[in-house]
Amino acid sequence: MNQQLLHIFRNTPLGRETLLQSIYFCRRLSASVDIYIPKTNAFLLYFENDVVQVDLDDSYLTAPETARAHVAELMEPSGLRFRFLEPKNYTASSLPDISTNFDFMCCPRGISDMSSKIGLGYIGPRVRRIVKSARFPVLIASPSFKAWNSIAVFFGGSENAVNALKLGFRISRLSGMPLNVYTQDEKGTRNQCERVIEQENLTEPMEQYVQDWHVFTKGRFEENLYAVPHDALVVLGAFGHGLIKNILFGSKMEKVQSTISNNLLIVGPNYRGTS
């Protein structure tokens, strides 16, 4: 079955870097790309149990007359199937409805925030809400294009970590890239993870796909992140604890996204996938 990725295009140099990341990701997975070029500064994403209004900054409306040509210049040499997404339904005349019937979505770290505010350690509230609501994984692109040559899955034994691990198996199978697993051993985490792997019948795929399982028994988690290759696609689970100003991903997730500059493939609490 053909997999599809949703990409919201920004016709700027930063937007070009993000589209290059989507292209690389989809080439590795033989996926197609649906590209939405915004004509207004807001749109709605309809999820099963939530509707997220994404309010774009003005950079997403830059030079609309050249946007399609710039997309084509990048997409056509890739050989990927792609199409321009044209919304059919509108909640209001300036508020298009975007389907969420996709396998992946690519986001910059702060899709709704001015690029001058975006930095390592900052993921905008709309992106967090998309991750929380989506049934698909969300690719958080690094600030500039970076090829990935391996896959790094963070695994702590939770239900969402199991989903991330299964997704890592799938990405490894589709891309042919080596897969490594990383665990911070805290109060018997390694033993818990081993039990979960056995209970979930993951022993065989662990042996088939995982090159190395790195278990950190010393040092702080954020210090041990130095062991993760800079050119790895990082796959991990996130879960929301509630909403104050931002959705909290969980302490480990927050430390990962604020410490490393890798591309992140995030599995939210509503993700439904196959191994």
In the structure encoding, which two tokens stand for residue 56, read together?
């774009």
**Do the strands 42-46 and 95-98 form a parallel or antiparallel pair, or are they unpaired?**
parallel
- Domain shared by 159 and 71, yes or no: no
Residue the block writes with tokens 């294009």? 145
pLDDT, position 147: 95
Q: Which pLDDT does position 136 carry in this prediction?
A: 93
* CATH code at position 72: 3.40.50.620
Instruction: Show the tokens assigned to 27.
Output: 């080439």
pLDDT at 274: 58
This prediction's pTM: 0.89
> How many structural domains are present in the chain?
2
CA end-to-end span of the chain:
15
Q: For 52, phi and psi rounded to 5 degrees?
A: -110, 120
Residues 125, 230, single domain; the answer is no
**Structural domain of 103:** 4-140
88 and 193 belong to one structural domain: no
DSSP state of 88: -
Continuous segment of H or E residues that includes residue 210:
strand 210-216
- Residue 182's pLDDT is what? 95
Closest to 6 (Cα-Cα) out of 65, 63, 47: 47
Q: How far apart are CA 214 and CA 225, in angstroms?
A: 11
What is the tens place of the pLDDT at every residue in 172-192? 999 999 999 999 998 888 899
Q: Which amino acid is at 111?
A: I
233-257 pLDDT tens trace:
999 888 644 333 333 345 666 777 7
> Do 121 and 160 sit in the same domain of this protein?
no
